[in-house]
Structure 1
Amino acid sequence: MGTNVAMPELSPPTVRVHASFVAAMSEFSAEGRGDPADASMIGGEIREFGCRWSAADGFAAYVDWLRSQALEDSPRPEGYVPSTTLWWVEDGEYLGRLAIRHRLTPHLRQVGGHIGYDVRPSARRRGHATAMLRAALPVARGLDIGSALVMCDVTNVASRRVIEANGGIFEDRCGDKLRFWVPTA
């Protein structure tokens, strides 16, 4: 008799992972995410929403807001584009996140790209980022992104390996970022 082993999967943001999400954000905060200098999506969301995440209604409002960001007509700051956020979840445990920006602005061509991802510190070095990016490529294809621009810091060897493992083709170095094009089909 085989055992049913749950595999991690991409999921729309959901209140079902509330406790593990809050724990993951504490892990990110402990490594400096959310500090004023942190320009990442997680950093911005820790600053803007972190004080409300512990309450169930505050977390539910955050989940609703995050899901709404995929809609073209949702309010967003100037220069921001619609983005689909997906969470990497296994057995109800939040392991990471991935955001797919539906189109590129001149700024996103230099910093950000189409897809950004983060794995919570306690779940790193287990192949989650590689699997998460692989699972997101068909979603990007469904958004009419034929080849996704994915970037990493020059010093982030692990992220470069994730991108290359998913077929990323090196384009160039732009400041402290390496830029790759990853086919979505």
Structure 2
Amino acid sequence: MNPTTTTAPWWYVAALAGAFALLGGLLSIAGTAYVDLRRFRRDRAQKWDNEVWATSVRLLNHVDEARAHLKSARILLASTTAVTPTVRSRELESARSSIGRAQSERNDARQEEMLLRFIATSDTSDDAKQLLDVLSQAFNDPSPLTDKEWWDRLHDKRRGFLNSVRLSLGRDALRDLQNPAPPSEPPP
């Protein structure tokens, strides 16, 4: 017998295999927890992005509806072809009704803007506020309805809001909502 070699104790191999099994189990649990945490964070971010997206779309729909009602009121107020005072009074009543619907849409858009303050970046909520401030100018003073610069400013603020939402979401999500040409028309 060789006096320099010794045999390992009988439990050594089993203990070594058990230790590696435990280490493998712990690494597996840690890896699964890390993947689940990343998935949770990604899903939470996606949920917020979807909420910002949905709120922005609702706000833009309200702004676009208000803009359409204001255009209708502008056309009615600019028409001077009324033959009788009765026809003219009906046109004025229709214009007032259009302005009332535009104000209702503006108020709905304000509520969406208030929600954006909580869920969107400060740049996005600031751009939404600026868009609604320009829209509100038409209700404080009727002259913007015939002012081409006001219609262009409204369109520019709308485009700025769209770009802000795009940047905050990190994608070209709202491309289909952006009008390629300004909606303004020369004053009648």
TM, length-normalised to structure 2:
0.28
More helix by share: 2
Query: Greater relative contact order (Cα 8 A, min sep 6): structure 1 or 2?
Result: 2
Which protein is bigger by CA-based radius of gyration? 2
